Amino acid sequence: MEFDIDVPCMTTPDQDIACISLDIGPQSPPLLRQGHACAWSSLSVHNQDCVPPPFYEGESGLHIMLYESSETFGTNGNRVKNPYYSGPVTDHFDGTRFFNPGGVPPLGAADILRWKLRGKPARWPRRVSLPEGPVKAPPHVAGADLRVTMIGHASMLIQTDGLNVLTDPVWSRRASPFTSLGPRRVIEPGIRFQDLPQIHAVLVTHNHYDHLDLETLQRLQDEFHPIIITPLGNETLIRRTLSAAKIVSLDWGEGFSEWDGITITAEPCHHWSARGVGDRCMALWAAFVLTTSSGSIYHVGDTGFHNGINYRAAAEKYGGFRLAILPIGAYQPRWFMRGQHQDPKEAVEGFRLCRASYAIGHHFGTFRLTDEPMGEPPEQLQQALIAADIEPDRFRALNAGEVFDVPQP
């Protein structure tokens, strides 16, 4: 049995609160009417290490579950153990959790409750067809050419210098730990999995379910054996499922070179991580810079604008980019999302600050995660470009199945 219920990718923030369940309506499926955490145990899940999300939303109304956990110290006063990473204290790691230097943490459980009770999410269509059907990418792109094909949400195929790179690949039907619950894909992937060319590398920016999909990573490992590059801590999570995979974990500022003339470097972005209850910010999040002979690419999976600090730093370090790949969706309500998800106007300002020649907008139109309408991010992007006096063809919001052959600067 499958329930038509959306589970946001956001998991319970770590707050000292009791386990409660609210508004388990009489029309809920019987399994969900049990009203306690063990009701989830019979559901099919992608990863047995995962735990229930804090709320779900269905036809019968809002349902919320909150769990007791702690921030850095347990109830006995001992420091909570990080299950993913152990390393020295740095300017963005306190010995247990990662954080954004000078930034803001994600809001807490009371704010999630306020959002879900008072929010006015726009309705999305249940299904949208690919306008021209799925595309087939070439086996490789040579020379100075740079091609990006949108698969959907934050999943893209980057082709340049003979290298094929996937970003945050998700081919699953839902961005969720559950096979029958969670944000459902409303549009098919822009490239069918069986039509993928040889994949050399996979970039995983952080561990939220709409970016790290273990089922898809397993399929890629079985078919292509790519190198998986990800920020600190995520390698532990991935290796639980992909024990034989080649995984490279990077801290901010660290780079990896496997191919002639190409370096992939992890850089800061303003976000957070959580896979379940109790592991908030225990694995790092990052943007990536691909330095190639055909130009540099700045790829950001999720980020808050953070006063443009990371964009300015990237421009200063790399001198600008041929292409920036920037998120433009999942930003409403603004009071809740501002710290972790930039909006299209902020993305345009980030594009200007990082000194990119061209940009791609992503993170919209595939999974309904937040309250804005499905088509609003590209519309808001166009308005922001006009207001900033930037030519619209320099910053394109790519829908699933669309291809951008990036001009040379």
How many domains, in total, are found in the chain?
Answer: 1
Measured N-to-C along each axis, helices 344-353 and 376-387 cross at an angle, to the nearest 10 degrees, of 50
356 in any annotated domain: yes
Query: E strands along 54-125, which residues?
Result: 55-58, 61-66
Identify whether 127 is part of a domain. no
Q: Which residues pair with 203 in a beta bridge?
A: 167, 229
Residue 181 placed within a domain: yes
Is 338 part of a structural domain of the chain? yes
pLDDT tier at 35, thresholds 50, 70, 90 = very low
Residue 7: pLDDT over 50:
no
Domain that holds residue 199: 146-405
What's residue 276's pLDDT? 84
pTM: 0.85
CATH number of the domain to which 214 belongs: 3.60.15.10
Q: Let me know if residue 129 belongs to a domain.
A: no
Q: Judge whether 219 lies within some domain.
A: yes
Taking residues 337-347, report their average pLDDT.
96
Note whether residue 104 is domain-resident. no
Cross-strand pairs, 255: 265
The pLDDT confidence band at residue 60, using thresholds 50, 70 and 90, is very low
Query: What mean pLDDT value characterizes the chain?
Result: 84
Which pLDDT does position 77 carry in this prediction?
52
Domain annotation covers residue 110: no
Task: Name the residue with higher pLDDT: 50 or 147.
Answer: 147
> CB within 8 A of 8, min separation 6: which ones?
53, 55, 57, 183, 369, 370
Tell me the β-bridge partners of 6: 57
Q: For residue range 87-102, list pLDDT tens digits in order.
A: 999 999 999 999 999 9
